[in-house]
Structure 1
Amino acid sequence: MPNRAAASDFCIPNGIRLVDGLDERAVPETLALLEGTYWNEGVSRDAVARSHLGSTVWVGAFEDAGALVGSARVLSDGAKIAWIYDVIVRPDWRGQGVAQALMAFLLAHPAVRDVRRVRLNTRDAQRLYAKFGFRDSPPPLGPEMVLERDITGT
């Protein structure tokens, strides 16, 4: 199994606060962040909002002034499988470690940390996810990346 980064390996960038349990108050800013993303093409704004509100875990990164600068969510059964969706960072905060902090926060969450297999789909962020031990799946699954854990005794 490849070495993967632990949550403690990533610092929260200065001026950023990570928050678990986002709710309907974060929907407008999240929708604005996700506007035009390739993975939500053809999905209505209402469906994207409902998907976030129905997630097992929905986290955000907020700047000191209170604005949302990043968001990510997970669907998880808490034991066998979890799917990470909609990892997004506002363009002016990209490259400063916000996505890494969000991913570390998600992977350390109780609904995710003991799950055997964590999946996500990406066309363009393989380097980010590889830092956490994700690897590309063999065909025919396509642009999916998988983090498989050897968890014994659970």
Structure 2
Amino acid sequence: MTTNDSSFEVSTDQSRLDIPMIYRFLSEQSSWAVGISRPVVERAIENSLCFGGYLDGRQIAFARVITDFATFANLVDVFVLPEYRGHGYGKQLVAAVLRHPSLQRLRRFMLATNDAQGLYERFGFTTPRNPETLMERYFPNIYLS
């Protein structure tokens, strides 16, 4: 799947992904995966539906969806490189993710965010209807040990 809105393009072609850039951002700049190893990033990418955001052919954004393509999806690792933020590329990226034909008619589409609730609310995401029914095993510093 490829979308093109002005000079910003979103593609699910994994062969185009700039793995070193994705790894560098996640392991050094993200607030959720600092210290993650390159093999873990590569394995996560291989086993997910990935979206690269490109400006003039250079990857500047990324998102990854973990899904069974039938009932559930989890949107993770969404980022736009800092020097490209504030131009609407994140909105275009999320819109492309939600338009993907394989992600339609899912019963549940989830994500976790510390600081981008406003962005995701524009796309219909809300706090869980019944948060008391959700549970997790969470190890926030697993990549640092």
Shorter-chain TM-score category? 0.7 to 0.9
Instruction: Find the counterpart in structure 1 of residue 44 from structure 2.
Output: 51
Residue 41 of structure 1 deviates from its aligned partner by 3.0
Distance in 2 between the 1:104 and 1:25 partners? 19
CA drift of 1:45 comes to 2.5
Amino acid at match of 1:17: E
Unaligned runs of 5+ in 1: 1-10, 143-154
Query: RMSD of the alignment, in Å?
Result: 2.1
Alignment of 1:112-131 (within 5 A): 112-131=103-122
Q: Do the aligned partners of 2:45 and 2:64 also contact (CA within 8 Å) in 1?
A: yes
1:83-134 deviation line (CA, Å, top 9, x unaligned)? 1110010111111111111111111112212211100111111001000010
**CA deviation after TM superposition for structure 1 residue 21, in Å:** 2.3
> Is residue 22 of structure 2 the alignment partner of residue 41 of structure 1?
no
Aligned length: 129
Q: Which runs of 5+ in 2 are unaligned?
A: 136-145
Superposed, 1:1-20 pairs within 5 Å as 12=5, 14-20=6-12
Q: Is the 8 A contact 1:100 1:128 kept in 2?
A: yes
Q: 1:41 to 1:130 in 2, by over 3 A?
A: same
Q: 2:78 aligns with which of 84, 87, 92?
A: 87
Matched AA of 1:51? A
User: Normalized against structure 1, the TM-score is what?
Assistant: 0.74
Give 2:67's aligned residue.
Answer: 76
CA contact (8 A) 2:74 2:109 kept: yes
- In structure 1, the residue matched to 2:123 is 132
Is the aligned partner of 1:67 residue 2:58? yes
Q: Which amino acid aligns with 2:21?
A: E
Report which of the two has the higher share of helix: 2
- What's the CA shift for 1:17? 1.5
Contact 2:61 2:90 (C-alpha < 8 Å) held by counterparts: yes
Q: Structure 1 residues 18-27 or 94-103, which shifts more? A: 18-27
The structure, 1 or 2, with the larger RCO (C-alpha pairs under 8 Å, 6+ apart) is 1
Question: How high is the TM-score relative to the length of structure 2?
Answer: 0.78
